[in-house]
């Protein structure tokens, strides 16, 4: 079976990993990067170096972009890209806001190109390996046309026609990730302030994260509760959890470590209790959080 040519623009760790996965599967791959030396290894592995971004785009029906943000795409493709974008498919796997993705989809359409957005959910070494997955959104026919090649990067999760959805899901995952990382560091600072080494604490703290489904239920169970808006407080209540949030804040203040994160968490409980959710499950915080007040 012949494999369709694919171009990859942007050869940071991510773009390099994507190009490598495509090459390994037998796709002819054309690459371009602002700093040309970053293409050297891929060229040795069989990729073709494009002299210009326009050459890269016209070498393949499908061009994948892996850049710091969407501004980089505009910087690379220039002010008047219609001459080489017409009839091409762009898949932008760079991180940015959902609105930046939507704006870029309009921009690409204005230059005659079809545009799919993506959010890649694993670090570069995991690209192309089991467990890797990528959210996509945009025109379904573009996704369907290139799904076999895109599947080489990771499992594909198509979210629908709105080009902003892939970045929305990406940002929401990163919300969980970054908040969890800050929580780990804050909790460690709390313990080490008492003179205990981080090594005595962090392994169990990591276990707390992986034990979350066992403690509060699966994602599907939680989603059902949030969608129903019932929040039955038979096993835990916002009153009980809020008292714990207060203990964490006061322990942080006593230890002299940063108070912003525990104060934000306590504020969720305070506002949920003030809104009458004290005897309901902690999931009732969702009502306060999504209301934005």
Which stretches of the chain bind ligand NDP, using CB under 6 A? 10-15, 33-35, 38, 66-68, 72, 75-76, 94-95, 120, 123-124
How many alpha carbons lie under 13 Å from residue 123 in its C-beta half-sphere?
2
In whole angstroms, how close is the CB of 54 to ligand NDP at the nearest point?
14
Among all residues, whose Cβ is closest to ligand NDP? 12
Euclidean distance between CA atoms 84 and 88, whole angstroms: 8
The Cα–Cα gap between 54 and 73 comes to 12
The answer to whether 67 and 84 have CB atoms below 8 angstroms apart is no
152: which 2 tokens? 């080489």
Nearer to ligand NDP, 76 or 245 (CB): 76
Indicate the residue among 75 and 223 with the shorter CB distance to ligand NDP.
Answer: 75
Helix 238-255 / helix 165-192 crossing angle, nearest 10 deg: 60
E strands, 48-93, in order: 48-49, 62-65, 89-92
Minimum gap (Å) between residue 134 Cβ and ligand NDP:
9
Q: How far is the CB of 92 from ligand NDP (least distance, A)?
A: 9
Nearer to ligand NDP, 38 or 111 (CB): 38
The sheet carrying 29-32 orders its strands as 48-49, 29-32, 6-9, 62-65, 89-92, 114-120, 133-137, 155-158
Q: Which residue lies nearer to ligand NDP by CB, 81 or 233?
A: 81
Write down the least CB distance from residue 19 to ligand NDP, Å.
Answer: 11
Considering the complex, what minimum distance in angstroms separates the CB of residue 283 from ligand NDP?
Answer: 29
* Least distance (Å) between residue 185 CB and ligand NDP: 19
Please tell me the distance from the alpha carbon of residue 124 to that of residue 17, in angstroms, as a whole number.
6
Residue 98 or 242 having the CB closest to ligand NDP: 98
Q: Give the pairing type, strands 133-137 and 114-120.
A: antiparallel
- For the record, the structure tokens of 2 come out as 């012949």
Q: How far is the CB of 28 from ligand NDP (least distance, A)?
A: 20
Helix-strand-coil split of the chain, %, nearest 5: 55, 10, 30
Q: Choose between 110 and 123: whose C-beta lies nearer to ligand NDP.
A: 123
CB of 99 to ligand NDP, least distance (A): 16
**Complex with ligand NDP: residue 68 or 83, whichever CB lies closer:** 68
Would you list the DSSP string of 221-255?
A: HHHHHHHHT----SS--HHHHHHHHHHHHHHHHHH
Cα–Cα distance measured from residue 196 to residue 212, given in angstroms and rounded to the nearest whole number: 25
Give the residue with the Cβ less far from ligand NDP, 138 or 233.
138
């Amino acid at each position: 079976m012949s494999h369709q040519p694919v171009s990859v623009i942007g050869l940071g760790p991510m773009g390099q990993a994507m190009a490598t996965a495509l090459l390994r599967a037998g796709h002819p791959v054309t690459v371009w990067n602002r700093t040309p030396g970053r293409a050297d290894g891929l060229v040795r592995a069989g990729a073709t170096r494009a002299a210009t971004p326009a050459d890269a785009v016209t070498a393949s029906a499908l061009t994948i972009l892996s850049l710091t943000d969407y501004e980089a795409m505009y910087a690379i493709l220039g002010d008047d890209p219609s001459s080489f974008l017409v009839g091409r498919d762009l898949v932008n796997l760079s991180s940015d806001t959902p609105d930046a993705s939507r704006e870029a989809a309009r921009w690409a359409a204005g230059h005659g190109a079809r545009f799919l957005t993506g959010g890649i959910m694993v670090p570069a070494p995991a690209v192309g390996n089991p467990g890797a997955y990528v959210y996509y959104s945009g025109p379904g026919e573009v996704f369907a046309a290139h799904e076999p090649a895109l599947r080489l990067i990771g499992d594909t999760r198509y979210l629908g026609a709105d080009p902003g959805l892939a970045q929305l899901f990406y940002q929401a995952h990163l919300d969980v990730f970054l908040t969890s990382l800050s929580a780990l560091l804050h909790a460690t600072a709390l313990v080490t302030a008492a003179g205990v080494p981080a090594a005595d604490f962090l392994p169990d703290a990591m276990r707390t994260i992986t034990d979350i489904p066992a403690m509060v239920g699966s994602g599907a169970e939680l989603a059902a509760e949030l969608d129903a808006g019932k929040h039955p407080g038979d096993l835990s209540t916002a009153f009980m959890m809020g008292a714990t949030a207060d203990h964490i804040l006061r322990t942080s203040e006593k230890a002299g470590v940063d108070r912003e994160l525990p104060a934000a968490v306590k504020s969720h409980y305070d506002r949920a209790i003030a809104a009458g959710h004290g005897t309901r499950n902690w999931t009732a915080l969702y009502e306060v959080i999504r209301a934005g007040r």
